[in-house]
Structure 1
Amino acid sequence: MSESQFKKLCIFWSSETIQSISKRNTQSRATQKWRHRMGPKTFAIIRERMVIH
């Protein structure tokens, strides 16, 4: 990533709108009961293995 891109990204992250979206998303993730714990395996791979076995 170039220095100019990084500066633009820092400005983007520091904006009020993005900060409020980030806060809302953090609160939403905190309320999730079940978290994704499959690692690099996709649901398609798991489904295929379940059908075969």
Structure 2
Amino acid sequence: MTLILLEALGALLLLLFIVWWTMFSGRRKGELPPPPAPESPPAGGAEGEGARKPDSRSN
């Protein structure tokens, strides 16, 4: 019975160590800054957003 309790305690300590390691072992200076937002393409034209040009290779 004591052996089972010791094994359960060891498993609990291992679980707590894994959780602690994953939470607090990050980068030293914190998270990286977010990447700059991509520039949006120019809007407009008669085609609209959902329209596609016909493929000249399909004919």
Which TM-score band applies after superposition, normalised by the shorter structure?
0.3 to 0.5
Higher gyration radius (CA): 2
For normalisation by structure 2, the TM-score amounts to: 0.32
More helix by share: 1
Larger RCO (CA within 8 A; separation ≥ 6):
1
